[in-house]
Structure 1
Amino acid sequence: MNFNKNMLQAYCIAGSQDLADHQVLPFLETALKAGITTFQLREKGPDAIADPQKLVALARACRQLTRQYDVPLFIDDNIDLALTVGADGIHVGQKDEGISAVLAKTAGKLMVGYSCNTPAQIEHANSLTGIDYLGVGAVYPTTSKADAGAAIGLAKLHDYAQLSTRPIVAIGGITVANAPDVIAAGAAGISGITIFTLSENLPDTVARLKALDGGV
């Protein structure tokens, strides 16, 4: 599967730590039926799956479901898992394995997303070959990710989108109500956890995000 910026329109992130009773697969199928454009399996924190065999089994099941709906599957910060289950992509952050090592391991095998939250990080990403998109945020304050950092706001998001040579997917405190402002600032799409997992009407949420005209 080749990268397309439309994959970023409704980029859903979730793992066992985000869902009651670890109901990742039922939630994922609901989200896929609602029309999400990408799913990232992110297992992190004390409530995440620790058993490697159980994690592989979950990732394989996610792979099967996403393939049925022709939606890309990204794995957060676990190259071996991504390659083992035949995922479409890997997403890494500044505190995860170094981006150069990731690109060397995944060249031609996986799409690559990279979290960048400062101009220096974005300029470094611009100098590298093999990155498909940047994840930028938190745009607004959020408690969904313990490592989200301070909110950057819309002005910085706009500046970062202008600086980046790759499309940006925004994350952090984004709701259906403020998503248009985020897209207007230059993001190609919206990513998040609770915007999807806590949605009272997931098909409507996804449809409204996909209707926004994201940046290049």
Structure 2
Amino acid sequence: MKENFGLYLILTDPVAGYETTAKAAVDCGLRYLQLRMKNTPRNEVVEMALALRKITRGSHTRFIVNDDLAVAIEADADGIHLGQDDLSVEEARKQWNRPGKIFGLSTHSMEQARLAERAEPDYIGIGPVFPTPTKTDTGPALGTAEVGRIALATPLTSVAIGGINAANLPELLQAGADNFCVVGAVNHAPDPAAAIRQLQRIGKRQSF
């Protein structure tokens, strides 16, 4: 059954700080919070993952680690998000055979979304919706119409991602996306709680 939770936040170099932004996400009741620290020494990633695990533990917010299964296991995260070139969902489940762990998978086309159904991840990312500077390995932007088409077609819970902000979010939701992931729209905000609440308000206004 598809899950509808609205905003999914990825933490990458937040100007307000990782822990402050994570606390804002928990206080605002976000369902998903992902840590993505590319090109960072592993010990720093582990240290931050452990800190965010403390903030999210016992809350409504599920803590996800990007790409690195070993870090997710060490921090006892709620789950792992995998890219097309990372460890497969099947192999990740074998290595992290713990009840209730969440496995997400990035997809960049209708074909990849359909292939993902075989692996049965807990959710798929669909994107990039719009051009984005934070990811350079995902191919051209799909646009809102195509992302909406994929989201409506897949039986899996899906999250649209890539260049989403308060200005273009209504168009995306009207195209058929249920859930949406942001990076810069919150990470670049000095007041992350205010940015999160603004996006949540837009999401609620556009829901039917």
TM-score normalised by the chain length of structure 1: 0.83
Return the offset for 1:102: 1.9
Which residue does 1:10 correspond to in 2? Answer: 7
SS state at 2:148 partner? helix
Counterpart selection for 2:19 from 22, 25, 31: 25
Displacement of 1:53 after TM fit?
Answer: 3.1
SS at match of 2:91: helix
More displaced, 159-168 or 203-212?
A: 203-212
Identify the residue that residue 116 of structure 1 maps to in structure 2.
Answer: 107
In structure 2, the CA distance between the partners of 1:209 and 1:109, relative to structure 1 (3 Å rule), is same
Q: Give the AA of the match of 1:43.
A: M
Q: Unmatched 5+ residue regions in structure 2? A: none
Please provide the CA RMSD for this pair. 2.6
Counterpart Cα distance in 1 of 2:154 and 2:48? 34
List per-residue Cα deviations over 1:56-107 (Å, max 9, x = no partner).
2211110000125431100001112112211111100102112331233345
Aligned residue in 2 for 1:139: 129
Letter of the 1:120 partner, please give it: E
1:56 aligns with 2:49: no
Give 3-state SS (helix, strand or coil) of 2:57's partner: helix
The yes-or-no answer on 1:98 pairing with 2:88 is yes
Deviation at 1:210, TM superposition (A): 2.9
Q: Which residue number corresponds to residue 177 of structure 1?
A: 167
**CA distance change for structure 1 residues 196 and 74 in 2, over 3 Å: closer, same or farther?**
same
Q: Tell me the secondary structure at the aligned position of residue 167 of structure 2.
A: coil
Classify the secondary structure of the residue corresponding to 1:139: coil
Distance 1:180 1:140 in 2: 13
Deviation at 1:201?
4.9
Q: Which runs of 5+ in 1 are unaligned?
A: none
User: Is 2:199 the partner of 1:209?
Assistant: yes
Q: Is the 8 A contact 1:135 1:171 kept in 2?
A: yes
Q: Is the 8 A contact 1:34 1:202 kept in 2?
A: no
**Contact map agreement 1:11 1:39 (CA 8 A) in 2:** yes
Contact 1:122 1:163 in 2 (8 A): no
Q: Partners of 1:28 and 1:144 in 2: how far apart?
A: 19
Q: What number of residue pairs does the alignment pair up?
A: 205
Query: C-alpha distance in 2, partners of 1:6/1:200?
Result: 28
Structure 1 residues 184-199: aligned runs within 5 Å: 184-199=174-189
User: In the alignment, is the contact (CA less than 8 A) between 1:38 and 1:72 conserved in 2?
Assistant: yes
Instruction: Give the match's secondary structure for 1:155.
Output: helix
When structure 1 is superposed on structure 2, of 144-153 and 29-38 the one drifting more is 29-38
> CA distance change for structure 1 residues 57 and 37 in 2, over 3 Å: closer, same or farther?
same
